[in-house]
Structure 1
């Protein structure tokens, strides 16, 4: 995860962006060397691949998107299925350059970018799987305390947020709604603020407070390396963080993460 102040970019997203930049740059270079217009073909493949990847994710999680159809367009929240995107991009690239001398070298570059990006992403996701540190105590809005260790034995989700964080503000109504009926507990853990400020903000938005907890000392963020907000941790029954989503999360991505925990 790359952090700039309170903002953060997940490494897997960074790797995808770098892979796309490398592919487009290579396409331009090969086109100039071969005297062929590769840029158009590369852009077609990129755009078709992104649309197919998004469509694949939407299809897999349609029950979530059906609740809020407009969120299909919220691509900044993430949510892409790599396989349909890569297959579509490869087909479009092949059709666009089927009679061109640039097809073979650009196909090799495409395959190389996919392999490197996939390997780096797999390594980043594996590094995110770490045991949740023991001894973390959360405070409720009514000053009650709970130990995260007591939740071991069953999967649960921890969402780190703050009232001053715009992406947190946008996702909080959805998070509160899902926490209210989720079979897997979802803990909405405010970072660094006091109970009065948090309660006042929730009341102003008419949001329930039942699943909201306080982490005044930022212990979870420090212990898990979650440098940006919001961040959503998916924790299995053994207390291992199986996935970490940095940034605003969609309902579909949240439900997909919950399914993977069951």
Structure 2
């Protein structure tokens, strides 16, 4: 499972890599501020904000069709979605404006490089996904039927682990519902964790969502099988039922589409 548990927090590998990279950058900038020039104090803060903003805006621009109906979702940085190469221009502009001297701008390259190396290494170390087969687990659906998670029908499968009490689960559910409608060639399973039929059906009706294959995992056995911590978790399975990718936390529409494309 490509997630890191920090006390009560569960961070995806991508988010943890960002935290590590920013921490290394600020540490390196702090050393430069104490030993080379105090100008690095202000520059480091501006560079972090400008770099994150530039990378996020680039992602939004590239995937604008997914943001056009809800532009404010660009602020939902907790969903992930950054094009890191576009962090460099605003960081360089901040260096030119705030450090001013060529000597200091050359020194500024050191924490930037250290940040890139630390973030990339962390992302690679946490990105591995074991090709775990689907569990031979039979779960009831909302209509009283039964579905075996291990059954394969030649289609890729997306399994969403969720609960009605989980705010990120509720926020991402409309995007997953739209993806289910748009991709009949993919099997979607919405595996509710620990709640009863009346609770789940009532919330779906209240939310105005019509979703197929809503399953009840009262014993919360699916997360144990996959080693998943926290909710929501979205699992992307190959046509043979083996795990290909795990997304921890709220998943964005463009991320759903990208992962489905990789499964085909």
Q: What residue in structure 2 maps to residue 157 of structure 1?
A: 158
Give the aligned partner of residue 144 of structure 1.
145
**Aligned length, in residue pairs:** 260
Describe the shift of the 1:26–1:4 C-alpha distance in structure 2 as closer, same or farther (beyond 3 A): closer
- CA-to-aligned-CA distance 1:6-48 (integer Å, 9 cap, x gap): 7522132122112202211221221221134112222332222
Inter-partner Cα distance in structure 1 for 2:153 and 2:119 = 34
- Which position in structure 2 is the counterpart of 1:255? 257
Q: TM-score, structure 1 length as denominator?
A: 0.88
Task: Say which of 28, 41, 46 aligns to 1:44.
Answer: 46
SS at match of 1:102: helix
CA RMSD, 1 decimal: 2.3
Tell me the TM-score normalized by structure 2: 0.87
| Equivalent residue, structure 2, for 1:32 | 34
1:201 to 183, 200, 203: 203
1:118 corresponds in structure 2 to: 120
Contact 2:161 2:234 in 1 (8 A): yes
User: 1:13 and 2:15 equivalent?
Assistant: yes
Structure 1 residues 169 and 134, CA gap change in structure 2 (3 angstroms): closer
Q: Which runs of 5+ in 2 are unaligned?
A: none
Structure 1: how far apart are the matches of 2:137 and 2:30? 52
Which residue pairs with 2:135 in the alignment? 134
CA distance in 1, matches of 2:153, 2:8: 30
Q: Is the 8 A contact 2:50 2:91 kept in 1?
A: no
Unaligned runs of 5+ in 1: none
Moved over 6 A (4+): none
- Partner of 2:160, secondary structure, is strand
Distance 1:150 1:219, change over 3 A: same
CA contact (8 A) 1:53 1:84 kept: yes
Task: Measure how far apart 1:83 and its partner are.
Answer: 2.4
Aligned-pair CA distance for 1:68: 2.3
